[in-house]
Amino acid sequence: MEEKMSKENIEEVKVLEAQIDHLRAEVAALQRQQQDNQKEMTFHFRGQMRDALSYMCGQKHVGGKEKVASRLKDEVEALQDDLKRQTQMNGISLNSCTAKTLQSSDSKLVQQLCVSGNCSELVFQVEFQLSEVKDGQRSERTISDLNVVMDTSDLQSFSSFLSGVEESRDLLLFFRTLRSFSDRCDDRCRTFRHFQEKYPSVVSLPGGCRSETMTLNHPELPGCVLFVHWSVEVSREGGVTPKINLLTKIPERALQLFPSQAVGGAAEAFHSLLRILGPEAALESVIRAVGLSQDT
């Protein structure tokens, strides 16, 4: 009987020892995580911001609570002003930025970053790994695993450009081209909205003012429609080029009645106007030339 109890005690001791080892491993993991978090905070917060955080954590510095709080307020306001100035300069607003440390040592820091924001109506999310390797006084940063998420279902050319950016890991090219592309799309939107408001009985935008197509319908000639297709092409190298074409839809019966009319040359004539007058003036001239300006 005593032998049986002794065996049970031994088994219970082994179980307790295993639990103690498991708890020790958890404590060690939590300590390593705490060290990583402290290193990450030190990396992100420096100067006055670091002093303020240290004070709030109980590490008091000379100058008192009021002085630290004042410094913290000044630094936050300076950061806000800098962010506002950067947004005005590049037209890109950042909504969130998260960073997760994957590796941290004295010589190397690897972080997983996720940045989301918008440029005008275009919403984006960029995910990438940022590695910083220190060699003495020098440091080198590299980007890897770049992934750009955008709703490009209606932007075929831009989707091709994004594939090239992800391959080259060129973040600067992405943001620079995004701004240029967004500006050209805004130009198109303003022009379409302008003509729809000026000629409401003639101009329609089936897909909205941010679509690529504007239609011109003669009030007295049903079935005769002019289509203005305005696309913004983006090359893999980041070149942004607006392309505007005029397409016609004329019933077969009308073509038979007026075989001598140069309907087929409308597109070429419109391109000539574009080169001479520019988009808005060319479209205005087309509307007036074909007698569609019923709203003037």
Sheet holding 108-119, edge to edge: 93-104, 108-119, 122-135, 138-150
**Closest of 35, 61, 58 to residue 47, by C-alpha:** 61
Measured CA to CA, the distance from residue 132 to residue 107 in angstroms comes to: 8
pTM for the structure as a whole: 0.66
Low-confidence winner among 93-97, 135-139, 218-222 (lowest mean pLDDT):
218-222
Q: What are the DSSP E strand ranges found in the chain? A: 93-104, 108-119, 122-135, 138-150, 203-204, 213-217, 225-234, 240-249
pLDDT digits (tens, 9 = 90+) for 39-92: 655 555 455 555 555 555 555 554 556 666 666 666 666 666 665 666 556 678
Measured CA to CA, the distance from residue 13 to residue 218 in angstroms comes to: 93
Residue 108: pLDDT band (50, 70, 90) is: confident
For 119-158, b/e burial (b = at least 16 CB within 10 A) is bbebebebebbbeeeeeeeeeeeeeeebebeeebeebebb
Classified as helix, coil or strand, 56 is: helix
pLDDT digits (tens, 9 = 90+) for 252-262: 554 544 444 44
Percent of the chain with pLDDT over 70: 65
CB burial class (10 A; 0-12, 13-18, 19+) of residue 250?
middle
Residue showing tokens 């950067």:
86
Partners of 96 in the β-ladder: 116
